[in-house]
Structure 1
Amino acid sequence: MPRLVEEALARAVQLPSSAVHAHVEKVRRRNPDASPEQLVRLLEKEYLLVVASTGGAVGAAAAAPAVGTGVALVLTASDVATFFSASAAYVLAVASVHGIEVEDSERRRALLLTALLGDSGTKALEDLTGVGGARMARLLMTRLPMATVKKVNSTLTRRMVRAQLAKQTGLFFGRLLPYGVGVVVGAAGGRALGRQVITGARKAFGPAPLAFRDPLELAPSDPRVIEPSPDA
């Protein structure tokens, strides 16, 4: 399971930026009068629907009478991969609304890990870097030097693997319960994990901007990538 989680995380952060921006624009076209804050709430609802419905579907399949433990494990692995992909798409979409875009996979990984861990992720990031508050995501994605980002990733990955191992193990056995119960456990478990990610993203990004911004894209070598000041 630890290797499964790490592989799913590695694949999730490779999501093309073009796909993220296209999706955000699609949601904006469907809701032309939505403010940035309203757009973020729409992205949250969409994300919760995906992870809850996927969890419920896996719970239904895993609890079917003809399905054995081995097949249920394969289904759980698929659910983990889908959860990480959906989480990455959601977090990067929120970053786009905030006008933040970084192609580097290490910075994406740090941002996704922070969101996946919820409250503990934002607290751990603050302990590691001294960076906290509503601008945490912007500082993480645009100012912290790569050596610091990699240190953050190393620590948060270990925490995330332990947390996901405990949660996914519980969900795995819950999905094996009789058909109707497995569906409920899968859907509720997916929604609970999704709400944790939303909490982490809200704390990392802070309030949505008042107006839509053009993406701020910085390469790791950009001279503006500097150590945060003590009061950042």
Structure 2
Amino acid sequence: MAKRKKFNPAVKVAAGAAFDARGNPKPRLTNAILKALDVQRPLVLANLNRYRRKFPEASPAELAARLEKDYLAAVTTGGATVGAFAIVPGAGTIATLGLSAAATVGFLEATALYAQSIAELHGVQTAEPERAQAMVMAIIMGDEGAAMIKEFAGQAGGRGGLGRTWGSLVGESMPSGLVGVLVESLRKRFLKKLLARQGTALLGRAVPFGIGAVIGGAGNRVMGRRVIATTRQAFGEAPLVLPMALVEDLARTQNRLPARFMPLPGRARARRRAAGQYALEEKGQTGPEQPGPDGNPGGRDGA
């Protein structure tokens, strides 16, 4: 006789921290997930400016390739890091699930920033939050999301949209009133699909003895690759040159990315600066900030 798998009651308790008795996400988790998709355009422009400073001669296709590489590295490392936390003695399953939920939100933030950056490279502006959120949700949903956007575009009498990429359809040509209806429909299916896909990963990263590190890193990498493939389908090939409207907007903005959106080395530098400043304040020795590699106070190199 096959042995019955032993049920771990801690997993049930952990799931209860984020899901109700019917298995639906609690409002706090739902709000955090949806808020993670609202990456505002100034952050997107700051992200693209950072890449242009680092690679001033890069073409849009080369910038897109670098965005893909950094995005995949960021989401993979984020999943593995949270999974590895389950190894730490005393890290309870409930606490780990909380970190796993945070990792899911981090995955969504990184995906929103990446997808909207790619959209801007293709001349699709992300200034309208509803349009931007619809694009990001559809990209994460994959084929189902693309089909919904095409269906809604068809309802708008979108014969004129034939031949256009579906990313530009929702980002530019779809009527605003229809976008609102689309977003509501996408949100319902998106949450169901996300939690069906991430739900096992949320608990998987909470499995002790380091198994979560494998599930978290590998799972996020698979999802990251799917996002990249769908984003390519959504917008098609990159243009030969940057859209003039984007170039003008990039020239006007001086925004810097917050530390949570930086690549891993940049986040490490930000944490070290914050820790050093805190130590000085504790000793009452707050001194002048030291210039960073680019000459900015506090070493804010934006990378």
Matches within 5 A, 1:141-152: 141-152=171-182
Give the Å deviation of 1:113.
Answer: 0.9
Residue 285 (structure 2) aligns with: none
Higher relative contact order (CA 8 A, sep 6+): 1
1:75-224 superposed matches below 5 A: 75-130=99-154, 134-215=164-245
Distance in 2 (CA, whole Å) between partners of 1:132 and 1:4 is 40
Mapped contact 1:98–1:213 kept (Cα < 8 A): yes
Q: 1:136 offset after TM fit, Å?
A: 1.6
State the aligned residue count.
216
Cα deviation 1:140-182 (Å, max 9, x = unaligned): 1122112211221122212211111112221123223343322
Contact in 1 for aligned 2:100/2:202 (Cα 8 Å): yes
Q: Please tell me the root mean square deviation across aligned C-alpha atoms, in Å.
A: 2.0
Q: Distance in 2 between matches of 1:112 and 1:5?
A: 18
The one-letter code of the counterpart of 2:135 is: L
User: How much has 1:21 moved relative to structure 2?
Assistant: 1.1
One-letter code aligned to 1:85: E
Letter in 2 for 1:189: G
Candidates 78, 91, 112, aligned match of 1:67: 91
TM-score computed with the length of structure 2 as normaliser: 0.66
CA distance in 2, matches of 1:19, 1:161: 24
Deviation, structure 1 residue 4: 4.9
Paired letter, 1:75: L
TM-score, normalization by structure 1? 0.84
Code of the aligned partner of 1:86: A
Aligned counterparts of 1:125 and 1:154: Cα–Cα separation in 2: 12
Runs (5+) with no aligned partner, structure 2: 1-18, 20-24, 155-160, 247-303
**Structure 1 residues 134 and 193, CA gap change in structure 2 (3 angstroms):** farther
Q: 1:19 to 1:72 in 2, by over 3 A?
A: same
Residue 115 of structure 1 contacts residue 121 of structure 1 at CA under 8 Å; is this kept in 2?
A: yes
- Post-superposition, which runs of at least 4 consecutive aligned residues in structure 1 deviate over 4 A? 131-134
CA distance in 2, matches of 1:153, 1:16: 17
Extract unaligned runs of 5+ from structure 1: 217-232
